Amino acid sequence: MPVYVRYIDLNGCKNSYCIPEKPNGYALFMLLDYQTFHSDHAEYFIETFVKKGYIVFSSGLLIAEWGSKTAVKHAEHLIQLLLRQEIINEKIFLCAEGTGALIAQQLCCSEDIHIRAAAFINPLLSLQDCLIHYHEDEVTLKRFKKEMSRQHGLSHCDRESVANVDEKLFTAYHLPVQSFLRHVKKDNVEELVKVNPLETRLLANEVSDFFEKFIPAT
């Protein structure tokens, strides 16, 4: 099935969206964590939704952003730009993996965009979760603390300061949300990268089945 890919330069960041030959009228914003979700498998995941008729779009701003307000505003502007350019339902779907959930949760509270439903895959739902998740990997933990401190204006990064940032970033929201957990051994996060294409597509189909519950019958 032909797929049309368009690229958008926004705030100096590369963004893209895929348009199927026969759009179903709905858009899906993907917030994938490429630290754990290998780019090849991301393509398989996105391909599944494009075949189902979704316009799928994503952004490269996630790297080193850690749920910053800058990243959230960028995501909002990208969504608004897409809505102006394409004929689609204004209530979009969200799919966030890993640290992508840091941004997705804030989008769920946004007054400027409308979310129909959200799916989280192995989400890290707070900066405290990230601190715990990376505590056994000294290299990644050091990078996280450095980048997170820069993005959120901290002089040092400890549990208390991270908890204070979380309190400011995340508030309650009332939307249909479902988490999908891929079981990975704690000492072997590389298993996330090695998941085969069939398993990735099966996961995408599970997420798609969840979304279809919120598409009105025609």
Residue spans of the domains in the chain: they are 3-125+172-212, 126-169
Going by the DSSP 8-state scheme, the letter that residue 42 receives in this structure is H
d(CA 54, CA 44): 14
Residue 203, both tokens: 């996961």
Whole-number pLDDT of residue 193: 47
Strands 55-59, 13-20: pairing kind = antiparallel
Whole-number pLDDT of residue 9: 79
In 3D space, the residue among 16, 18, 13 whose CA is nearest the CA of residue 1 turns out to be 18
d(CA 148, CA 130): 10
At a CB cut-off of 8 Å and minimum separation 6, what does 72 contact? 103, 106, 107, 110
- Residue for token digits 């279809």? 212
Whole-number pLDDT of residue 54: 96
Whole-number pLDDT of residue 186: 46
Whole-number pLDDT of residue 62: 64
d(CA 96, CA 208): 13
Helix (H, G, I), strand (E, B) or coil at 31: strand
Neighbours of 40 (CB within 10 A): 11
d(CA 166, CA 131): 12
Phi, psi of 94 (to 5 degrees): -120, 140
Cβ–Cβ < 8 Å for 120, 29 = no
Q: CATH topology for 3-125+172-212?
A: Rossmann fold (3.40.50)
Cβ–Cβ < 8 Å for 182, 203 = yes
In 3D space, the residue among 90, 27, 98 whose CA is nearest the CA of residue 67 turns out to be 98
**pLDDT tens, residue order, the chain (218 aa):** 557 888 887 777 778 889 999 999 999 999 988 666 666 778 888 899 999 999 999 886 666 689 999 889 989 999 999 999 899 999 999 999 999 999 999 999 999 999 999 999 999 999 999 999 988 889 989 999 999 999 999 988 889 999 999 999 999 999 999 999 876 544 444 544 455 788 888 999 999 999 999 998 86
